[in-house]
Homo-oligomer: A and B are copies of this chain.
Amino acid sequence: MAGRPVDHRRRAELLDAAVDYAAEHGFSDLSWRPIAAALGVSTTTLVHHFGTKEQMLVAILGRLRERIFVLTSDRAAGQPTLAAAARAAWEWSSDPQRWPEFKLFFAVYGSALQAPHLFAGFLDRVVADWMSLLRDAQGPDDDPAAPTLVIATIRGLLLDLLATGDRDRVGNAAEAFFAGLEHK
């Protein structure tokens, strides 16, 4: 009865490569053939592993969100205060090495806002994940305004940084924000 077993590792490998490709070549114009060519496989292989193109987009965006969240939460989780967690998250996120990934993140975010039916899973978790992470660092004060503000500010500053590349101005603004968080 059994036959060849499903190779989950292979799918994960292709998915990560697809995320890298999307970060480099953009998210809005993805199509089977160029991705397949870049990954050194046939389009049939991608179709076999991901189904339809829509399903592949959902898989890419899900993996991207997971990658960013896991890496950021490694740095932000376990911090003693909300301000410390915010500072840790910012310092990791604002590294120019992360820029392609975050440009892709905001491209996906924007697309999701205009196609909520397709990207419902992304929109559901894109704020909630971070809220629960930050509220762990927040301590007994359970006012959701503070973590909401931290998420919004970090993302807004990233949008500025990615658009202008002005690390000095944006970095100073971030520092002012964290300082205000601590003296409250």
Residues of chain A whose beta carbon lies under 8 Å from any beta carbon of chain B:
26-28, 103-104, 106-115, 123, 126-128, 144-146, 148-149, 151-157, 159-160, 162-164, 169-170, 172-173, 175-177, 180, 184
Contacts and interface: CB of A to CB of B under 8 A. Distances in A.
Nearest to A112: B163
A97 to B, nearest CB: 16
Nearest to A154: B156
Contacts of A110: 27, 103, 106-111
* Chain A binding surface SS class: helix
Contacts of A155: 152, 155-156, 159
Contacts of A169: 144-145, 148
A163 B114 CA distance: 10
A183 B110 CA distance: 34
Contact of A152 (B104, B128, B157): B157
Contacts of A106: 106, 109-110, 113
Contacts of A175: 145
A148 B145 CA distance: 20
B160 A177 contact: no
18 contacts: A26-B114, A28-B28, A103-B114, A104-B114, A107-B113, A109-B110, A109-B159, A127-B164, A144-B169, A144-B172, A144-B173, A145-B172, A145-B173, A148-B169, A152-B152, A152-B170, A156-B159, A180-B180
